[in-house]
Structure 1
Amino acid sequence: MKKSILNIGKNLSKSEQKNIHGGNASCPSTPICYGAFQSSFNFSCGTCEQYHALSNSCKSRVLVSVTCFGI
């Protein structure tokens, strides 16, 4: 039974694993927010253009305002 469970699926390469877990080391550490937010944050946010320039794996790690999507 154990062997049959361990053989389910396929082995992932390190790059595939990083994509799943968001392990891309090239993501910037700041800013952590993008777009127009209320002044409740004690730090400045990046622009919508900077947000759209991020890779998809980095986009999932930050806060983004709906204003960056033309809503």
Structure 2
Amino acid sequence: MKKSILNLGKALNKANQKQINGGRSSSCNTYSGPPCYGINNGVCGTCSQYQALPQEHKSCVLVHADCEENNPS
């Protein structure tokens, strides 16, 4: 069972890993905003604030699925 689970998908290189939401890149060193967006807990930013982020900083934060531009809801 373990071998079959480990063989799912493909291994990602460093560049691919950095494209995944939350993957750290060197541009994250310059990011100083909230750690998350779209969750109403007093710490996170709003979805509109997330949309205004530069693309290189969007991978530095956690974001609720409702904030994604192509979200059908």
TM-score scaled by length of structure 2 = 0.49
Shift in Å at residue 56 of structure 1?
A: 1.0
Task: Give the match for residue 22 of structure 1.
Answer: 25
> What is the letter of the counterpart of residue 26 of structure 2?
G
Task: Give the match for residue 32 of structure 1.
Answer: 35
Q: Distance in 2 between matches of 1:26 and 1:53?
A: 16
Q: Distance in 1 between matches of 2:67 and 2:30?
A: 22
> What is the letter of the counterpart of residue 27 of structure 1?
Y
> What is the letter of the counterpart of residue 48 of structure 1?
C
Provide the alpha-carbon RMSD of the alignment: 2.5
Asked if structure 2 preserves the Cα contact closer than 8 Å seen for 1:35 and 1:65, the reply is yes
Q: Which runs of 5+ in 1 are unaligned?
A: 1-20
Q: Which runs of 5+ in 2 are unaligned?
A: 1-23
Identity %: 39
Shift in Å at residue 67 of structure 1?
A: 1.2
TM-score scaled by length of structure 1 = 0.50
- Which structure 2 residues correspond to residues 1-71 of structure 1 after superposition, within 5 A? 22-24=25-27, 26-28=30-32, 30-36=33-39, 44-69=43-68, 70=71, 71=73
Which of structures 1 and 2 has the bigger CA Rg? 1
- Runs of 4+ with deviation above 6 angstroms: none
Shift in Å at residue 26 of structure 1?
A: 4.1
